[in-house]
Amino acid sequence: MGEAKVAMDSPVNVQVVDSRTYAIDRAVEPLRWVFRWGSVAMLIALVSLPFIQVIAREILSAPFIGVEELTRFMLICTVLIALPYVITSGANIRMDELITMLPKGVLRIVRIVIGLTGAATFAVMTAASAVAITTNLDNSTPTLGIPYWVFLGAAFVSFTMSALECIIMTIKAFQDRPLYITFPQEMEPEEALDLPESMRE
């Protein structure tokens, strides 16, 4: 009764589907879950730290040392960790208004090219991050002493996952399937809302 209905692995004519629709999406869903909720946790920390610092400074007269540095660190990590989620959900700038006017065959080729170039770009950025990590193992931030490899490690993990998402998008483009997904938690409830008559129009 409470089980989610999962569609069969067959092409559909929509741009966004449930993350459980295709086997390739179900296989990477645990990884996506980690990135998704990791970015949420970092965003909460990013918003909370300045508030805590204001309270500590103005009310308790005991400001925390290095909060500004930690906030910058959280800002960087939040952007990087959220990047794969932005790609897989199609929330980035895509110019769909122009692309969808192309003939179906051309549109498919364009989507394949976009996926391949995205995967190649993120693969290069992953390699660059790995090189940067190896050359900055002894460096750290001046106030809190956060190792640089932590920043660069977030970039490495983010770009690796982003490259994987672009590869998955390319495979879907070859199979003429929807490229982007949405998670079950983001879907509108199936049952009708119990609204007053005046609000049902």
Please check whether residue 3 lies inside any domain of the structure.
Answer: no
- Report yes or no on 96 lying in a domain: yes
Domain that holds residue 28: 16-185
* Alpha-carbon span 150 to 14, nearest angstrom: 39
Residue 5 lies inside a defined structural domain of this protein: no
Between CA 12 and CA 197 the distance in angstroms is 35
pTM: 0.74
Residue 11 located in a structural domain? no
Report if residue 148 sits inside a domain: yes
Task: Show pLDDT as tens, one digit a residue, over the chain (201 residues).
Answer: 444 444 444 444 446 666 667 777 788 888 888 888 888 888 898 888 888 888 888 787 777 787 888 888 888 888 899 999 888 887 777 776 777 777 888 888 888 898 899 999 999 999 999 999 998 888 888 777 888 888 888 899 999 999 999 999 899 888 888 777 776 665 555 555 555 666 555
Alpha-carbon span 43 to 35, nearest angstrom? 12
Question: Total structural domains in the chain?
Answer: 1
Running DSSP on this structure, what letter comes out for residue 181? Answer: E
